[in-house]
Amino acid sequence: MQNILVPVDFSPVSRNAAIYAAELAKKFNAKLMLFHAYMLPTPVSEVPYVMVTADEMQKENEAYIKKEADHLHDTYKIEVEWSVRIGIASDEIKSLAKERNADLVVMGMKGAGGLDKIIGSTTTNVIRKLKSPVLVIPEKATYIPVQHITYAYDLNDPSGPALFQPLLELAAQYQSRFSLLHVENPGEPKDNDGPANTPLEKIFLGRQVSWVTIQDSSVTRGISEYLLQHPAEMLAMIAHRHNFFERVFSKSHTSSMAYETDIPLLILHDKE
């Protein structure tokens, strides 16, 4: 892991995510890239007011982000770059991640309730648009060495080695152990071979792994209750079309969401 991209909006939530990212950068001897995207204000009434120019907003945002970059550099003794652009945040983050070959994008989230509500529109859009792994840092999460990772998987998840490389690299740095969690619907047909005989077995061969299958009609509730009983420092999931991750983040399921995460959520992206 060499390049970590951190979108910021100068809020306490994004500052918390930047601190977590700085700890990772220090651990991996990686470069940190702070990024802020902004839009020009649009008049919404006939009341006259002084219009802020793009140049003024650019300079103001550059001053803010430089201050944060300098603080992280001085505190953690890491290399920190920064950039400010005008545009839609999720689109600009996607472009910059590709330009800078970001190995990881770290973003904050705020709130309680369904994951869509917790993460917010910008982070949700970034998750859906990016191919780079995204690490979502909850508002109240603080950096703790990642000793235990729960990977919540679906039996239809892809199993290409490259997909899991960021997760395995992170785990190797911390010598983390894994819980591989499958939430099974009570009416789901049983796999006689068991989940440990999936292609994932080869991916995690030689690592500290516990295979866990629980039953719950709600994937998110199952994950939540498992983590309450078996705490971890990180939750990992795969985002790709038509898997349970997409169903979890579907707005049609927001009302039934029971999962509230207070640990970092690493989202791996199916490249296919």
Report the CATH number at residue 261.
Answer: 3.40.50.620
One domain, residues 52 and 164: no
Residue 102 forms part of a structural domain: yes
Contacts for 132 with CB less than 8 Å, ≥ 6 apart? 5, 97, 102, 103, 104, 105, 269
Q: State how many domains the chain has.
A: 2
Query: pTM to 2 decimals?
Result: 0.85
One domain, residues 66 and 161: no
Lookup: tokens for 229: 């009983």
Q: Are 39 and 68 in contact (CB under 8 A)?
A: no
One domain, residues 95 and 157: no
Query: With 70 as the cut, is the pLDDT of residue 220 above it?
Result: yes
The pLDDT tens digits of the residues spanning 171-194 come to: 999 999 999 998 888 876 665 445
Q: For residue 170, which phi and psi values (nearest 5 degrees)?
A: -65, -45
The pLDDT tens digits of the residues spanning 141-176 come to: 899 999 999 998 877 777 788 889 999 999 999 999
One domain, residues 132 and 158: no
Number of other CB atoms surrounding residue 47 within 10 Å = 6
Looking at the chain, the number of H-run helices and the number of E-run strands are 9, 10
Q: For residue 10, which phi and psi values (nearest 5 degrees)?
A: 70, 15
One domain, residues 134 and 156: no
One domain, residues 106 and 159: no
Q: Which of 119, 138, 157 is the last residue of a domain?
A: 138
For range 1-26, the mean pLDDT: 94
Proportion of the chain above pLDDT 70, given as a percent: 79
The pLDDT tens digits of the residues spanning 90-121 come to: 899 999 999 999 999 999 887 544 444 444 56
Task: Please name every residue paired with 268 in a beta bridge, in sequence order, or none if there are none.
Answer: 238
Q: Which of 138, 165, 199 is the last residue of a domain?
A: 138
Residue 143 forms part of a structural domain: no
Query: With 60 as the cut, is the pLDDT of residue 245 above it?
Result: no
Q: Which domain holds residue 39?
A: 3-138
